[in-house]
Amino acid sequence: MNDSMAQGNWEWYKEVVRSWLEDPLVEQFGGLNMTSLKMDQAYMTGVSDRNVSIYSVSDDCFRCPFELQKTLEAGVPGTFVVSTSRRATWRVYEDVREQYMSAANASGLICQLRPDLGEFGVYTLNATGDGCDVRTDKDPVNIYLRESFLFAHPVINPGHITMWYKDKRRRVGGASLGPNPLLRRSADEHLPLVHAHATDLALQSVLTVHLV
């Protein structure tokens, strides 16, 4: 019972750190390089049985035209990077190649949809003559976990966790910079990792308290 509770809580902590660092955690997914994604980005793969163009317009862009995101040839999937910082309305047009489309222009319009996309997610948009749908292939990072973590542990310094996690990933990956953790230096922070090592112990202490 205690072992299962410990494992569940540790998975929760890892997910919190993952969302905190804006890190997809995995390097590859379905042949896609996840580490090339930036903050507030995700992958979208378009699939269609006809020649189409995919357009979108952000909710915070008042009276803006729809902007071209990707053109697809019939039966040929195409992957592109999309922004997840704001909700957007998407349209798929058949046999259209213009860079911008007015919201009033419905000529060749196959479908209009408002997918719920999240940071570091992977999605597939399927367009046919019957309509469109968006499927989630890889769940996005839960950006709300960091707020719940801070609410539960307001004394934790996010910078300390960042250093601890990056050092932990290097050690797990076998790229330790030295046999003594107090002598290693962080290539990312350019600071002595004695602080990161202390934070490692501190976070483990927090986890222990959380499990009691």
Report the predicted TM-score, pTM, of the whole model to 2 decimal places. 0.62
Alpha-carbon distance of 56 to 147, in angstroms, equals 30
Amino acid identity of residue 108, one-letter, is G
84 with 99, same domain: the answer is: yes
122 with 180, same domain: the answer is: no
* 185: exposed, middle or buried (Cβ count in 10 Å: 0-12, 13-18, 19+): middle
Q: Using one digit for the tens of pLDDT, what is the confidence trace for 146-202?
A: 555 555 555 555 555 545 445 544 544 444 344 433 333 344 444 333 334 444 444
36 with 114, same domain: the answer is: yes
pLDDT of residue 99: 97
Alpha-carbon distance of 41 to 141, in angstroms, equals 11
Count of domains in the chain? 2
Q: Using one digit for the tens of pLDDT, what is the confidence trace for 115-133?
A: 999 999 999 999 998 999 9
Rounded average pLDDT over 32-51: 95
Confidence grade of residue 142 (pLDDT, cut at 50, 70, 90): confident
Residues 6+ apart with CB under 8 A from 200: 164, 167, 168
Domain that holds residue 78: 29-138
92 with 147, same domain: the answer is: no
111 with 57, same domain: the answer is: yes
Axis-axis angle for helices 194-211, 2-20 (nearest 10)? 130
pLDDT of residue 172: 45
94 with 112, same domain: the answer is: yes
Contact assessment for residue 119 and residue 42, using Cβ atoms and an 8 Å cutoff: yes
Contact assessment for residue 202 and residue 1, using Cβ atoms and an 8 Å cutoff: no
